[in-house]
Amino acid sequence: MVTIKDIAEMAGVSRTTVSRVLNNSGYVSEDARKRVEKVIEETSYAPSEHAKSLRTKKTKVIGVILPTIQTETPSRIVTGLGKELSENGYQILLANTNLDKAKELEYLELLRLRQVDGIVLIATNTESELLDKIKTLNIPVVIVGQEVEEDIMYVTYDDYHAARDLTSLLIQRGHSKIAFIGVDEADRSVGYLRKKGFLDEMKASGLTVEPEWVQKAIFNINSGHHAMENILSKAVDTPTATIAVTDRLAIGAMSYLRENGIGIPDQMAIAGFGASEMSQYLIPSLTTIDYQNEMAGEEAAKQLLAKLHSKKYQEQIILSYRLLVRDSV
């Protein structure tokens, strides 16, 4: 294996000169530069990543903690991250928590020990233990998908107003009895803010929400199916529309309605969040909120890179959304 020492001897220069040529830093005479470059070309020399990381104290690796690999949102965010980071010479190291909050803490520490340059956390909670851990890491961390009040970088979505707009659409379509399928409110963005947006819009429109119309689910299609069953079996006054906080939950609800001969949207309108690829191909196609997740990944990468390179950056970013009105409402 050719080393910098070998290159220096073959080119008749010092190792410092070779290092300056490789890193394009410091003064090197034109003659010396040409001799070094000629030897590098003849030997096909390439400095090892390990050697560079020892020299620069940088690994050029970004750790990414995602909640699941089974849904489209995290994969879209990672696509946006990967595009922006690779263009800037960084690699990604993925860690999947499977929606286990304890794993979020564990992976933060493991990635620190792996000496990654920064971490992107696609978070499902904003509990104090998690935020306290982030502050102790001494490396840049960007949270994606959750708004935090602490002095931590984040990129998130306007979940509250998106939920209000979706609820307003259903009210404009003549619905006054609207059900809601949510998730645990420990997930502030998906569980709390989307529910609050729904309830506030209903209240602002002078409409009441019966307790049995609101069901808590988990992030899968079967849970949406079960929640829709609970709404229709428990409700004394049957709703005519349902909002689900994810497309997967909405798809589960639609499955239950089809199995029981309930027409969509004639007897029950349905809307979701996420603009999943499947949502446009369902029959009827699903009305949903598009958060443009790849853009969130790109913005998080830009935010992290700016921090790493001591450039000016926006510490908190709230992205807009698009309401995709389709045949299910």
Q: What is the pTM of this model?
A: 0.79
Q: How many CB atoms lie within 10 A of CB 109?
A: 12
pLDDT higher than threshold 50 for residue 224: yes
pLDDT higher than threshold 70 for residue 147: yes
The CA–CA distances, whole Å, from 55 to 47, 89, 116, 154 equal 11, 16, 15, 30
Cis peptide bond upstream of 211, omega within 30? no
Instruction: Assess whether 204 and 264 both reside in one domain.
Output: yes
User: What is the rounded distance in angstroms from the CA atom of residue 284 to the CA atom of residue 242?
Assistant: 15
Mean pLDDT of 165-179: 98
Under 8 Å between Cβ of 229 and 262: no
Domain containing residue 37: CATH number: 1.10.260.40
Confidence grade of residue 54 (pLDDT, cut at 50, 70, 90)? very low
What burial class does residue 3 get, using C-beta atoms within 10 Å of its C-beta: 0-12 exposed, 13-18 middle, 19+ buried?
A: middle
- Residue 19 counted as domain residue: yes
Three-state secondary structure call for residue 318:
strand
Q: What is the pLDDT of residue 164?
A: 98
DSSP state letter for 191: I
Confidence grade of residue 151 (pLDDT, cut at 50, 70, 90)? confident
Mean pLDDT of 250-255: 98
Instruction: Assess whether 185 and 273 both reside in one domain.
Output: yes
The CA–CA distances, whole Å, from 164 to 184, 197, 323 equal 19, 5, 11
Instruction: Assess whether 154 and 96 both reside in one domain.
Output: yes
Q: What is the pLDDT of residue 50?
A: 47
Instruction: Assess whether 198 and 258 both reside in one domain.
Output: yes
- Residue 32 counted as domain residue: yes
Which of 128-132, 269-273, 295-299 has the weakest average pLDDT? 128-132
Q: What is the pLDDT of residue 46?
A: 72
Confidence grade of residue 235 (pLDDT, cut at 50, 70, 90)? confident
- Residue 326 counted as domain residue: no
Choice between 7 and 165, residue whose per-residue pLDDT is larger: 165
